[in-house]
């Protein structure tokens, strides 16, 4: 019984707000040499690279940028998709390094009857191809709704890049293109690999005249949301990063003891992170970063954080507080946002450009309500940037 009590206390998740604990976040605006960061220039030149490196070494690993060649092949094209409203394309993105190739398949719907080029939602999908069918029942990837809103929608299956599996994750990009990464303590892992896939698809968008590659909105749900944030942090071609219920090691403050912890996530999903991240299990206070810094790396570009009220595992409040804590970096760029200190009521969207948030009723998932908020946010953001 003693052992049982001991293990359940050790491994139990906390869902009691009074036990979430207090914490001091690592400083966003102080460089490692003690210098205060007071300008956008110093942020970009000094602090941003420091923080990127801290995330690389301690959490997600590197994302190699070199390859020998990239090629795009349109495998299928249907101008009359969605009852004539859209053009569907399946595009193979072939990336070659040292004579080895991997292929990422992109599924893409482009609205037919509006002026091109159009902005695009690009989804990091870990739920498989079946979840990218265009059907009115498919709220997870509502192609028709998005096309009707004047956006293209694209998606890829993460397994093309790195299967979501403890050992098999190495089977695509890591074995074929970057084998040396697996040997490095801060080498590429699955979340970084998925983000690499996003960047290669943006390479494709830059060649598609119907797509406005300066308006790419990367959307990820849960583990995909973690990858979307890490990708957006690094690849400045991402205009908006949307984190849907990304939770621990995504948008949620790691130091807040509520829901999933670093201990649980590194035990269950070791392939997402560098091995050294596990050293911060039950020891989050010693992490040199916290997740507000990841959100801040998007500045001055846009970040949208979505959560669901019944998704305590992902800690809605912890995700909101990270967004609030990221604001000083946006201010450096003259973007003086003032998010309310407390999380807004359920189902109410808060927009303080370039930041946005909602916490809808319901469980862990991505649905039509969430997508409608993403569209509203993107509309406002692009309009405000005089870009749309
Ligand atoms: C698990 C995991 C989460 C993750 C989620 C998902 O619950 O613990 O960290 O976000 O799966 O991807 O749906």
ipTM, two decimals: 0.97
Supply the pLDDT for residue 9.
55
Tell which atom from ligand 1 comes closest to the C-alpha of 264. 8
pLDDT at 291: 99
Interval 85-102 mean pLDDT = 98
Per residue in 114-161, pLDDT (tens digit) is 999 999 999 999 999 899 998 989 999 999 999 999 999 999 999 999
pLDDT at residue 101 in the model: 98
Tokens of 7: 């293990």
* Euclidean distance between CA atoms 78 and 154, whole angstroms: 15
Model pLDDT, residue 12: 77
Task: Using the atom order of ligand 1, give the atom closest to the CA of residue 245.
Answer: 10
pLDDT at position 1 over 50: yes
346 C-alpha vs ligand 1 centroid, how far in Å? 22
% of the chain with per-residue pLDDT over 70: 96
Indicate which residue's Cα is closest to atom 7 of ligand 1.
313
**pLDDT at position 385:** 85
Average predicted confidence (pLDDT) for the chain: 96
Which residue from 222, 260, 273, 364 has its CB within 8 A of the most atoms of ligand 1, so it is best to mutate? 222
How are strands ordered across the β-sheet holding 302-308?
69-80, 86-97, 100-111, 152-157, 118-125, 211-221, 238-244, 302-308, 355-360, 350-352
Tell me which DSSP letter residue 158 carries: G
Global pTM value: 0.97
pLDDT at position 342 over 70:
yes
| Residue predicted with more confidence, 185 or 5 | 185
Does the beta carbon of 127 sit less than 6 angstroms from any atom of ligand 1? Answer: no
For the cut 70, the answer to whether the pLDDT of residue 7 exceeds it is no
Q: Nearest to residue 228, comparing CAs of 191, 189, 253? A: 191
């Amino acid at each position: 019984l003693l052992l049982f009590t001991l293990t359940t206390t050790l491994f139990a998740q906390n869902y009691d707000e009074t036990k979430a604990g207090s914490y001091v976040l690592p400083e966003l605006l102080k460089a490692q040499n003690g210098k205060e960061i007071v300008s956008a220039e110093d942020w970009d030149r000094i602090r941003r690279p420091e923080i990127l490196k801290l995330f690389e070494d301690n959490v997600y690993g590197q994302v190699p940028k070199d390859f020998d060649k990239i090629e795009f092949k349109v495998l299928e094209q249907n101008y009359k998709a969605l009852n004539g409203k859209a053009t569907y394309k399946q595009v193979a993105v072939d990336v070659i390094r040292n004579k080895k190739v991997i292929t990422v398949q992109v599924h893409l719907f482009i609205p037919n009857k509006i002026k091109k080029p159009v902005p695009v939602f690009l989804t990091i999908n870990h739920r498989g191809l079946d979840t990218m069918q265009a059907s009115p029942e498919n709220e997870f990837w509502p192609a028709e709704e998005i096309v009707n809103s004047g956006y293209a929608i694209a998606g890829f299956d993460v397994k093309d890049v790195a299967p979501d599996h403890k050992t098999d994750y190495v089977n695509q990009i890591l074995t074929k293109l970057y084998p040396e990464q697996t040997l490095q303590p801060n080498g590429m892992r699955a979340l970084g690999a998925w983000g690499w896939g996003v960047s290669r698809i943006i390479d494709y968008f830059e060649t598609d005249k119907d797509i406005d590659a300066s308006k790419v909105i990367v959307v990820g749900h849960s583990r995909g949301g973690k990858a979307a944030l890490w990708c957006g942090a690094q690849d400045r071609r991402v205009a908006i990063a949307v984190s849907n219920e990304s939770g621990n090691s995504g948008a949620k403050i790691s130091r807040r003891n509520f829901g999933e912890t670093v201990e649980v996530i590194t035990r269950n999903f070791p392939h997402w992170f560098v091995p050294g991240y596990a050293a911060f299990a039950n020891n989050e206070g010693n992490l040199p970063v916290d997740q507000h810094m990841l959100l801040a790396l998007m500045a001055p570009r846009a970040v949208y954080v979505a959560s669901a009220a019944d998704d305590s595992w992902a800690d809605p409040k912890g995700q909101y507080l990270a967004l609030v804590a990221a604001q000083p970096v946006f201010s450096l760029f003259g973007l003086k946002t003032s998010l309310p200190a407390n999380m807004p009521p359920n189902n109410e969207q808060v927009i303080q450009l370039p930041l946005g948030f909602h916490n809808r009723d319901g469980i862990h998932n991505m649905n039509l309500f969430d997508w409608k908020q993403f569209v509203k946010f993107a509309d406002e953001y692009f309009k405000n940037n005089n870009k749309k």
